[in-house]
Chains A and B, each alone.
Chain A
């Protein structure tokens, strides 16, 4: 931040920090969901697909003339179904989370593109639609703060939150202790899908489009994982919290903004973000070395 403040014209001012906050609202919500999953020693590679699928469902329903509330309820149910299905495959069928969510991301994207959008990858939302208007102005930032507070409350004060940490610390011990690990896994992936929906609505309203290329071509999934790891939540789970998400988000949002102001190409930006992720993983490995207590089969 000091580097950008000193050397980049237009970085250190209130207006630019507002832009950083507005551009990071969706990433914050996605990172909250991803953070909870990673704390449980999982990984949700379908989170961006769920995000776009949720926004597409809501967009299609509102464009078709549904009023906002019933459209929202149906969308929430659809997105929860995605999360619960992921959680069921992981907790009950016992398929590794990474493979489950990778496959479900492909299924969701394929289904929506070819069955729902009839082959299209882009859904244009009228800029005068009620949904777009509701989510303009400060609404994205307020929604992001609410998702952040909800994530913090769940992790800090609920049984689900405590079991999430226990799962990440030692899943086998948590299960042998009689903790509801399977039900909690369902809840974790359902919560991640829900945060993805809110992120999707914010992105769709901001650009008036729902774009499935974000799933196949974009770097949003990478950035969500980057925020979590960079903030200090270890990939093997069990530790960390929302404070870490804030740190990671601040780093990546500032980096992204500063590189845009420096007029670096998107490819160069991706390269720098990759380097930062590698450094973060190496530091994480040094601070949290693997040992016989936490190194288990099925680790990432």
Chain B
């Protein structure tokens, strides 16, 4: 995959607008076009924030955004995507639950001339564009921070528990690969547990309670999504180990995440800022509707900037967004 920077994308945007002569002309190129967004589910701050930004841009550009909610059902998601392809929108926005599930349909859509924007979670299949966090970067940075806090010279056990969402989800796959690569260089770090929670807080809580019992000197927990990691944080709090176990998470950085940090349920969150990510996605949709492609036909990619939200000095509630 060829990854371009955000600056380069803005350059492309500027070029597209200049090439057509005026902003009004760009709007007219988008007017009347259609976009279909197929999320894993609506009703969570992540997808609601994206949808809000997409609709704002659609109103300005004069195009339509239709949302087909799969409501966490992957079977339904495939059917909705098939229906969306049959509708022949100009741009299709896909939120992949796994790296493989929708790959064939993404290929089919691109072959039918529909530009596919993959949002947050990438499939094995390349498409016109991708907007999302760099999971490898997050996995590496969190692992490096864990090494700093729990590794040689820290006086801690070096024991780490990882709680992925699902072992086959793109973010969990990439974050696990990246963090294990870092840990491999630090033999003092021992991963004592790596069990998926199926994204459920209660399952994460039960896993953590059991692991803490077996490893009372656990140093850190790395949860791959803040929502389920809050269950793990609750188990740490119940065990009275808030001062000795660091709870790391990643997430969209909504107000609930900041509340969890204030309550001591989470210690550190690598936030990809879902609100900002929604704006990036909406900008990408505008560009795709105006016919922007990369020079060599490869996938245009925008990496979401990260915010590290930590308890203690430097913490500000406005680091999180509210819908």
Contact = CB atoms under 8 A, between A and B. Distances in A.
Interface of A: 9-11, 13, 15-16, 18-19, 22-23, 113, 117-122, 124, 126-128, 136, 203, 206-209, 211, 213-214, 216-218, 257, 260-261, 263-267
B231 interface: yes
Contacts of A113: 43, 71
17 contacts: A120-B43, A121-B43, A121-B44, A124-B259, A207-B202, A208-B201, A208-B231, A208-B234, A209-B202, A213-B198, A214-B202, A216-B73, A218-B198, A260-B210, A266-B195, A266-B197, A266-B198
Nearest to B47: A119
Interface string B39-54: 0011110000000000
B200 A22 contact: no
Interface stretch (B100-108, B211-219, B274-282): B211-219
Contacts of B265: 127, 208
Q: Nearest 4 A-B pairs (CB), nearest first?
A: A10-B214, A119-B43, A120-B43, A207-B201
Contacts of B202: 203, 206-207, 209, 211, 214
A19 B213 contact: yes
Contacts of B197: 266
A122 B227 contact: yes
Interface in B5-47: 41-44
A121 B205 contact: no
Contacts of B205: 206-207
Contact of B192 (A13, A22, A263): A263
A19 B211 CA distance: 10
Contact of A23 (B43, B69, B201, B210): B210
B209 A23 contact: yes
A257 B209 CA distance: 10
A19 B230 contact: no
B132 to A, nearest CB: 21
Contacts of A266: 195-198, 203
B206 interface: yes
B199 interface: yes
B263 interface: yes
B198 A217 contact: yes
Contacts of A136: 238
Contacts of B195: 260, 263-266
Contacts of A124: 230, 256, 259
Contacts of A264: 195
A16 B212 CA distance: 9
A10 B213 contact: yes
Given A122-B44, A127-B234, A213 B200 contact: yes
Contacts of B214: 9-11, 16, 261
A289 to B, nearest CB: 37
Contacts of A265: 167, 195-196
B43 A22 contact: no
B43 A10 contact: no
B43 A263 contact: no
B231 A209 contact: yes
B210 A19 contact: yes
B213 A16 contact: yes
Given A127-B234, A211-B200, A120 B167 contact: no
B193 interface: yes
A6 to B, nearest CB: 15
Nearest to A209: B201
Nearest to A261: B214
B211 A260 contact: yes
Contacts of A257: 210
A206 B227 contact: no
A209 B227 CA distance: 9
Contacts of B200: 211, 213-214, 217-218
B152 interface: no
